[in-house]
Amino acid sequence: MVSAANIGDQHLALSTAAAVVYHQITGTTAASAADVDEILNLVAHAIANVAPIYTADRASGGPRQLAPIELIHCRFERGATVVKTSFGLEYGQLSMRRSDMRAAIAILKGAGLHFTRRSR
């Protein structure tokens, strides 16, 4: 049997978490398919400011938390599936814990955050 605590520790793809966070905060989904990547990238960046982000550890295959210093001035790309650090490193297989996602939703909602696309 899976307990509520175990569910909170489960990891989900950062791109999925970003979509859930966006929907929970705005009450909508992306306006068009063309907007999805940019919106997920923006939301992932906001999440990274308030919650731990993980990548797959090469040695164990399990999740490894990215250090906060790795996420300063980072850039999320490809619909929040890749992050490029200011040090030139690139990480994929990004995830976060469900419990951290719920906390991020509360924090970002409380901050009154709005996600606005950059003008093209």
pLDDT tens for the chain, 120 residues: list them.
556 557 768 999 999 999 999 999 998 877 777 789 999 999 999 999 999 999 999 999 899 999 999 999 999 999 999 999 999 999 999 999 999 999 999 999 999 888 766 655
In 3D, which of 67, 65, 85 has the Cα closest to residue 76? 85
Residue 32 inside a domain? The answer is: yes
CB 44 within 8 A of CB 82: no
Residue 88 inside a domain? The answer is: yes
Residue 120 inside a domain? The answer is: no
Structural domain that includes position 23: 4-110
Angstrom CA distances, 64 to 27, 60, 94, stand at 31, 9, 10
Vertex 12 angle, CA 8 and 16, to 5°:
125
- What amino acid occupies position 117? R
Handedness of CA 97, 100, 105, 108 (dihedral sign): negative
In the chain, how many domains are there? 1
